[in-house]
Amino acid sequence: MLSTPLLALALAVAPAPCAGRPVLAPPVAERAGDSLVALYDRGRTWQQFIDSAKARRQTWLDNHANGAPDSAAVARAALVPGRWRFLVVAEDACGDSANTIPYLARLVEAVPTLDLRIVNSAEGRWVMDSHQTEDGRGATPTVVLLDEQGAERGCWVERPYVLRKLVAEVRAGTVAGNLMEVVTAWRREDQGRSTINDLLDLLDAAAAGTVRCP
């Protein structure tokens, strides 16, 4: 039997709650002519989401509590002109969501020109399907950046770039180690910094007129 830390780690990197197309209701866009703005408007605030989160609750809470961005990250975000909204498709049971979105929430809390709303993978399935990972999957979390007019200006999917590269290298055998152990050690060391850096890069690119999306 796995020890408690290893069991928690196995759950954190297990693909089932995070990857693939959910077999649920038809995509909202197909049912109601949906839009990213309409979906955003129906989304939950961070507080509403965390109040209802049950799976991995302690991970969500701990990462949020310990995830304050450093002053340089806050200053960098504050320098981006305009107002920006992050539409997040996430599941509380998904380890990738629990280990990224709390850090985004802390950045948004620190910068008045940023906001976010969260929807689940049933509501946002069409968003996942149209913003797939580099290997062709819909996954949570999927983050779509919207500008003041509601236009899509970029996206970010599943994991920080550095972690995506590391996972690929472990799976290819070019980096040695057990995948779960490598990912856990990386997350412990990184403490959300790579997630925030990726999202700041996304904001900077959008402000410069470039749409970045996997």
Contact predicate 103/69, CB 8 Å: yes
Q: pLDDT digits over 162-208, tens only?
A: 999 999 999 999 999 999 999 999 999 999 999 999 999 999 999 99
Can you give the pTM of this predicted structure? 0.87
Superfamily of domain 4-207: Glutaredoxin (3.40.30.10)
Q: pLDDT digits over 82-133, tens only?
A: 999 999 999 999 999 999 999 999 999 999 999 999 999 999 999 999 999 9
